[in-house]
Amino acid sequence: MYKPTYHHRLFQTNKGIERLAFPLFLLVILVIAYVVYQTGGIKFVYSHSMYLPILLSGFIYGVRGGILIAVIGGLALGPYMPIDSVSGEKQETLNWIYRTIFFSLVGILSGVASQSVRAHIKRLEWNSRHDINTGLRNRAALLEDLIDLGSQKYKSSLFALTLVTFDNMADLRTAFGIDVVEDIVRQAAERSQSAHGPHVGLYRSSPEQIAAIVAASAIEEIEGFLDHLVKLFQSPFQIGQVAVHADARVGYVRGDVSTQGVERPETLLLEAEAASLAAHRSGQNSVHYNAAFMTAVKENLSLLGDLRRAMENGELSLHYQPKITMSSGKVCGAEALIRWKHPQRGWIPPGLFIPCAEQSTLIQAVVEFTLTCSLKQITEWLDQGVSIPVAVNVSPRNLIHPGFVDNVLSCLDHYAVAGNLLELEITEGALMIDMERMIGELNRLAQHGVRISVDDFGTGYSSLQYLHRLPISHLKIDQSFVKRALTDAGASHIIESAISLAHKMHIKAIGEGIENQATYDLLARQGCDIAQGYAVSHPLPEHEFIRWYAQHEKGFSFTEQ
């Protein structure tokens, strides 16, 4: 709750002080007049004591109060106050009128100064709890109002703290300039204020985020209001003459002030922000807070903090999963898969730390580490008489990073590895990022013999109008379809279509995630070229891979799962 400062308390008078001060000033004026008369009259300096009640009255009552007390004081030292009380010499009329006017000017100046200071303090107070551009209350005010929820101010016991963020604000800024943020937030606030429901207050909790406290007597009321809020944000926003879409995500946390109060509003706000982050990452319109969100955020940050050290301390290593030609059973390549053995946590699954790295700048270092280790391994295998290409997974962030292609080519030269022994696996979605630039970069790699394969093909992101322009050597059918091929006719048809498309484009199809003989036979009948999965082999450390390779070349066999 807001605690007024010393200066605010000093200049913020109340009715009680005003009622008490006025008769006190009248009494002081009478006392001063009596003292002036008893000490010899107006010609002595004691008359200047009258400035004290005049200045104080202007301070407390403003201009009007300063003038009123000045006039009363001037009259008290006016026509009935002699110049010399002993001789009885009276004042000239112009003398006491001039004094009264001068007193009034002092009262006016005191009142103006007091009112100006109070107005300035009020502006500072307002600015400290409001966003200047939109007029919405700010984060500090939000925290104060959350504490007030526990008082008698609100009759409803249930509440929800809601945060609305806009995922595509960076794109909007790029297209329309930085002022677009203010326009979007202002329009979003207007829509929220127009919503009918148990709405308590709106806030601008951060430059690109608005918050709302929603109080109600039932959870259904809160949920209904939030659904309505999401629908309001789905309508286009007007930026000048252009209608644009702002991708709003809602994160919220519920509470009950009757049972727990709101003793730590900062924690509540952090939980709402965690829910907002979860909505952003999951692509959902609205997400209710779950304690697992906070745990996941802390875990991700902790993993990223350890990841850089892991690369330096040799905790990361590569395992290699073989690929075989389905028609002959011969090994035709391997995929490099990163593994992390943490000194305290043990083996950490790639699915836990790779997605975190992909959302950070660390993915550049991770892929560079994988690329370097793979090229070293290729040279070692060449020395042992094994010549097979190694596939390295590449993140979309790598592809758009300046100098990535130059770095790949530099590594190939450094390790004296031919380009056709390196394969870069790129997800389908990555190909849709800056397609024209992507075509140019991938063509540069292909000109040096580097193989390009499309990973997770069939997940629905590809654009066939661009696919034929890319220097792709392999299409890797997503394993979600391969694993369902025996039981799901739709998945089987998708696989068959993907294989047919690959062959028409004169490239090879890879079936990933083959776990048994029946799936292998089905894909072979459909014409799939290359198999990868547990049925062929698990990912293997480099020393085990060589042993497996030597044994496999003697005779092809499956490992049923």
What are the residue boundaries of the structural domains of the chain, listed by start? 6-128, 137-289, 319-554
Query: What does the buried/exposed string (b/e) look like for 107-130 if buried means 16 or more CB atoms within 10 Å of the residue's CB?
Result: bbebbebbbeebeebeeeeeeebb
**DSSP 8-state secondary structure symbol assigned to residue 420:** G
Q: How high is the pLDDT of residue 285?
A: 84
pLDDT at residue 261, rounded to an integer: 53
How far is the C-alpha of 472 from the C-alpha of 135, rounded, in Å?
54
CA distance 556 to 433: 40
| Residue 529 · residue 512 · CB < 8 Å | no
Across residues 416-422, what is the average pLDDT?
Answer: 94
- Listed residue (190, 208, 205, 201) closest to 160, CA to CA: 201
Structure confidence at residue 260 (pLDDT): 53
The type of residue at 229 is: L
- Cβ contacts of residue 336 below 8 Å, gap of 6+? 318, 319, 320, 370, 373, 374, 377, 390, 391, 392, 393
pLDDT for 348 beyond 50:
yes
Nearest to 76 by CA among 43, 57, 53, 100: 100
CA–CA separation, 19 vs 289, rounded Å?
52
- DSSP character at residue 421: G
Query: Is 511:495 a contact under the CB 8 Å cutoff?
Result: yes
Q: How many angstroms separate the CA atoms of 348 and 370, rounded?
A: 16
Would you state the structure tokens that stand for residue 19, as one six-digit string? Answer: 């009622």
Residues 67-89, mean pLDDT to the nearest whole number? 91
> Is residue 133 a contact partner of residue 81, using CB atoms and an 8 Å limit?
no
Arithmetic mean of pLDDT, 421-429: 85
Going 10 to 16 to 20 to 21, the CA torsion angle's sign is positive
Among 154-163, 273-282, 357-366, name the one with the lowest average pLDDT: 154-163
CA–CA dist 395, 325 (Å, integer): 26
Burial class of residue 221, CB neighbours in 10 A (0-12, 13-18, 19+): middle
For the record, the structure tokens of 372 come out as 């370097």
Does residue 428 register a pLDDT over 50? yes
CA distances (Å), 474 to each of 206, 511, 529, in order?
Answer: 46, 10, 10
Kindly report the backbone phi and psi dihedral angles of residue 179, in degrees, each rounded to the nearest multiple of 5, phi listed first. -65, -15
Angle at 16 between CA 10 and CA 19, to 5 degrees: 110
Alpha carbons 486 and 121: distance in angstroms, whole number:
75
DSSP 90: P
Q: If pLDDT is split at 50, 70 and 90, which confidence band does 558 have?
A: very low
Residue 559's pLDDT is 47
Q: Categorise residue 317: left if φ over 0, alpha if ψ from -120 to 50, beta otherwise.
A: beta
What confidence score (pLDDT) does residue 273 get? Answer: 87
Give the model's pLDDT for residue 214: 84
Q: Are 539 and 531 in contact (CB under 8 A)?
A: no
pLDDT at 94 over 80: yes
- The answer to whether residue 404 scores a pLDDT higher than 60 is yes
Above pLDDT 90, what percent of the chain?
A: 36
Domain 137-289: homologous superfamily in CATH: Reverse transcriptase/Diguanylate cyclase domain (3.30.70.270)
Specify the range with the lowest mean pLDDT, choosing from 20-29, 179-188, 281-290. Answer: 281-290
Question: What is the structure's pLDDT at 560?
Answer: 42
Other C-beta atoms closer than 10 Å to the C-beta of 201 total 17
Place of tokens 């800056």: 434
* pLDDT at residue 532 in the model: 94
Tell me the range of 102-106, 125-129, 403-407, 423-427 where mean pLDDT is highest: 102-106
Task: Name the maximum alpha-carbon separation found in the chain.
Answer: 139
Task: State mean pLDDT over 439-443.
Answer: 85
Question: For residues 180 and 112, is the Cβ–Cβ distance under 8 A?
Answer: no
Q: Report pLDDT for 561.
A: 39
Q: Is 240 left (phi over 0), alpha (psi -120 to 50) or beta?
A: left
Strands 390-394 and 242-244: unpaired
Q: Is the pLDDT of residue 11 over 80?
A: no
Nearest to 499 by CA among 335, 483, 491: 491
323, pLDDT greater than 90: yes
Q: Report which of residues 159 and 359 the model is more confident about.
A: 159
Q: pLDDT at position 181, please?
A: 86
Indicate the CATH number for domain 319-554. Answer: 3.20.20.450
Mean pLDDT, all residues of the chain: 85
CA distances, 3 to each of 146, 151, 498 (Å): 15, 16, 67
Listed in sequence order, the DSSP H helices in 134-253 are: 139-148, 169-176, 180-194, 219-234
Q: Rounded CA gap, 504 and 181, in Å?
A: 48
Q: Has residue 1 got a pLDDT over 50? A: no
Which residue's entry shows tokens 């022994």? 421
Q: What is the pTM of this model?
A: 0.63
- Res. 12: pLDDT tops 60: no
